[in-house]
A = this chain, B = another copy of it.
C-alpha cells in the first residue's frame, strides 16, 4: 500500500518508519529542501498548493493524509476527487482557525475557556474588560509551539500584544488557572471503530512541549470518561478517520478543551516505546482501512522528553541503556524540536 502525506517533517518521518514494517510506503509533498522524511520515503518537492505537486502526490497512492494542519484547505479539496483524503477537510478547517475550533467545541457541548474574537485593538480592549485579566491573545491562524501568543495582564499590555499579532484577526481567551495540562490521543477507523490511548500529562516551557508523562498519574475514572466523551464527540461530528489529539486543561474535576490537532501529536510520541501499537502505526492503519492496533500502555509508564534546539552527543544520550532515542535528522536551531527520548518509568 502507498500513502501520500502532506508535509515531510518529523511526524511524516515517523509515519513512514512505522509504515515500512507493514509494507506501507509513504510519499511526501513538502516544499522544504531535505526534510526529515526524505531518508525514509519519496519526496515530491513542491508547495502544498502546487497543482502539479498535488497530482504527483496523488498518483498511485491509496489514500492521502497530512502530518501538519496548516496545509491549505484548497489543497485537500483539490486532492479529494483524485484520492480519499483522511482525515477530511472539515477537520483541517476546524483546526486551522482557533475561533472556528472554539466555536465548534462549544457547539459539541465541550467546555473551553471563555473567549472573544478580536479584530481590532478596540475589540481586544473590550475582550479584556469582559473576560477579566489575564487573557491570552492568540493569532487565529498558523500558530504552533506558542508562536503568535501573548498574555495580557492589564490594559498596559494591549498595544504591544496587538501589534505582535501583525494586524491579523485574533482570539482572546480567558486564562484558565489549570492544575495541569493533559492530552488525549485517540484513533478512529474507517468503519467508526475507536481506540483511546490513556490520558497523559504534559509540561510545556515557553509554549513548547518539553515532557509527557504517560499515563498521567492520579486520573480518576470520571476524568478519563469526560475526556473520551469530548474526543468521541469531535471524531463523530467530523466523521473523522485517523489519529487525533485533544489538549486539555485540568482544573480540579473539570476539563477544558484547549486545542485539537487533527494528526499524530508530540504528546503521543511515548507510544513508540510505551504502548502496544504506536500512534504512527495506528494512524496509518486507520487511514488505509486496516484494523486498529491495541492502544494499551506497556509496563508501568513512560516519560517522553523532547530534544529542543540541539542534539546532545549520541553516546551521552545513550548512556542510560534503557533510553529510547528518536532523532529527526533536522538542522539544530534554537527552539526547534530535533528529537525525543522515551524512558520507561520504574514501577510506582
Q: Are B329 and A276 in contact (CB-based, < 8 A)? A: no
User: CB within 8 Å of B: which of A11-44?
Assistant: 13, 17, 20-23, 25, 39-40
Closest beta carbon of chain B to A346's beta carbon, Å: 13
* A284-339 interface (Cβ within 8 A of B): 285, 290-294, 296, 298-299, 311, 314-315, 318-319, 321-327, 329
With a cutoff of 8 Å between Cβ atoms, the chain B residues found around residue A65 in the complex are none
CB distance from A148 to the nearest CB of B (A): 31
Contact (Cβ within 8 A) B276 A290: no
**C-alpha spacing A40/B26, complex, angstroms:** 11
Q: How many copies does the complex hold?
A: 2
Q: Which residues from chain B contact A315 at a C-beta distance below 8 Å? A: 290-291
Q: Which residues of B contact A327 (CB under 8 A)?
A: 21-23
Contact A39 B20 (CB under 8 A): yes
Majority-rule SS of A interface residues: loop
Known: A39-B20, A276-B344, A298-B298. A285 touches B25 (CB 8 A): no
Contacts of A277 in B (CB 8 A): 321, 324
A-B contact pairs, 9 of them (CB 8 A): A1-B314, A21-B326, A22-B327, A23-B327, A195-B321, A276-B322, A277-B324, A292-B321, A293-B321
14 other contacts beyond A40-B40, A276-B321, A276-B324, with CB at 8 A cut-off? A1-B314, A20-B40, A20-B329, A21-B326, A22-B314, A22-B318, A22-B325, A290-B318, A291-B318, A292-B321, A293-B322, A293-B323, A298-B298, A299-B299
Q: Which residue numbers of A lie inside 8 Å of B, CB to CB?
A: 1, 13, 17, 20-23, 25, 39-40, 195, 276-277, 285, 290-294, 296, 298-299, 311, 314-315, 318-319, 321-327, 329, 344
